[in-house]
Homo-oligomer: A and B are copies of this chain.
């Protein structure tokens, strides 16, 4: 009892949390998961320095699982269009297989 679904992952600056999650909901996703993250991107150091990565996370990793690939793509496109000219971030897709869709 499983079916293929899409997962879109957004890694960006923590201060965008409210805006990005509002956008995710506006795109029609029914839920998301947020994890605190540190790291470094190609456009410079993303967190406040490597030594502080674990203690002081300044990024967030947001994951959204959607039944429709289209929804995942819309979220990724909107996030990139609205925020990534001015903030660092990356979005990518991962294939997932949902096990209990009726509980999602």
A57 CB, nearest partner CB in chain B, Å: 8
Cα–Cα distance between A73 and B78 once the two chains are bound (Å): 32
A97 touches B92 (CB 8 A): yes
Asked, given contacts A80-B99, A104-B41, whether A46 binds B31 with beta carbons under 8 Å apart, the answer is yes
Number of copies: 3
- Which A27-83 residues have a C-beta within 8 angstroms of B? 30-42, 46-47, 50-51, 53-54, 57, 59-61, 65, 73, 76-77, 80
A90 CB, nearest partner CB in chain B, Å: 5
B35 touches A31 (CB 8 A): no
Q: A17 to chain B: which residues have CB within 8 Å?
A: 50, 53-54
